[in-house]
Amino acid sequence: MEGLWVPGVLLLSCLLLPFPASSQTSPSPDRSWETDPTEAPSQHHTARAMQEQVSSAREMPLRPRCVRCCEQPDQRFYHPQYQPLPQINMTILKGEKGDRGERGMQGKFGKTGVAGSRGHMGPKGQKGSMGAPGERCKSHYAAFSVGRKKPLHSNDYYQTLIFDTEFVNLYDHFNMFTGKFYCYVPGIYYFSLNVHTWNQKETYLHIMRNGAEVVILYAQVSDRSIMQSQSVMLELQEQDEVWVRLYKGERENAVFSDEYDTYITFSGHLVKYSGDP
């Protein structure tokens, strides 16, 4: 059985094979193009050449045509690629610097922003060098203490109490001729006034600043004389004036003193300079 199966397979394979191209019946050539002997010689040669070309084409075997997988695009719709323009060096074309124009008008101020938070404390700086010594006239000191050895009675007008004895007058800030203290160092001052009253007479005085009464020293009429005092602290500006004034004579007003002892004193000194922290 195995020997019969092998020849049968071989026979079936032979029957399935295609016939060769030479065994096919070739079509009769079309001779309609053959030339007539009566035609002109030039036409005869042309027809003969065409016949030979057709014959050679028929004798050549047909070759498969090679087709590209990707056909080229139609040249009619071809667009050229964009070519960038050449770069120009602008520094070569730069001209000379022109004149400065006029300044424009100032714009409106913007709204004030919100204040920022306080920054961190910076590191401590280095110790600076010692400064030059200050001028002597700018020292922050002022003090005076003066007295009067003569009594004084009131009159029909106000009288400035003039002092004739000088105890302390630093930098001559107290004028002995006018009886006034002139402030050259602004700050806080302390003033005190001490007087001796007269028997059976009234004592009525004011401590004045720039023409205005500040405090009063008063003693009623009495059978005996007494020592009476008044004190005050004032904040003065530069060129302020302080003095003592006796009230005018509506009543018998007087202060007592003699040439041997000093019963009337007026003193003042700077407590704190206004420029100090």
* The predicted structure's pLDDT at residue 29: 46
* The predicted structure's pLDDT at residue 13: 61
* The predicted structure's pLDDT at residue 142: 94
What span, in angstroms and rounded, lies between the C-alpha atoms of 56 and 15? 33
CATH of the domain at 253: 2.60.120.40
Asked whether residue 207 is assigned to any structural domain, the reply reads yes
Given a cut of 80, is residue 246 above it in pLDDT? Answer: yes
Across the range 59-64, mean pLDDT stands at 56
User: In which band, very low, low, confident or very high, does the pLDDT at 28 lie, cut at 50, 70 and 90?
Assistant: very low
Asked whether residue 247 is assigned to any structural domain, the reply reads yes
Residue 90 sits at φ, ψ, to 5 deg, of -70, -25
Asked whether residue 157 is assigned to any structural domain, the reply reads yes
Structural domain of 203:
141-272
Write out pLDDT tens, residues 121-159.
Answer: 888 888 888 877 766 555 689 999 999 999 988 888 899
What span, in angstroms and rounded, lies between the C-alpha atoms of 233 and 223? 32
- CB burial of residue 142 (10 Å; 0-12, 13-18, 19+): buried
Q: Vertex 31, ends 27 and 32: CA angle to 5°?
A: 125
Is the CB of residue 162 less than 8 Å from the CB of residue 179?
yes
User: In which band, very low, low, confident or very high, does the pLDDT at 240 lie, cut at 50, 70 and 90?
Assistant: very high
Which range scores top for mean pLDDT: 74-78, 121-125, 170-174?
A: 170-174
Asked whether residue 105 is assigned to any structural domain, the reply reads no
Asked whether residue 203 is assigned to any structural domain, the reply reads yes
Across the range 49-77, mean pLDDT stands at 58
User: In which band, very low, low, confident or very high, does the pLDDT at 54 lie, cut at 50, 70 and 90?
Assistant: low
**Of 241 and 2, which is predicted with more confidence?**
241
Q: What is the domain count for the chain?
A: 1
**Of 62 and 232, which is predicted with more confidence?**
232
Asked whether residue 258 is assigned to any structural domain, the reply reads yes
What span, in angstroms and rounded, lies between the C-alpha atoms of 264 and 275? 33
- Which 8-state DSSP code applies to residue 23? G
Residue 42 sits at φ, ψ, to 5 deg, of -65, -40
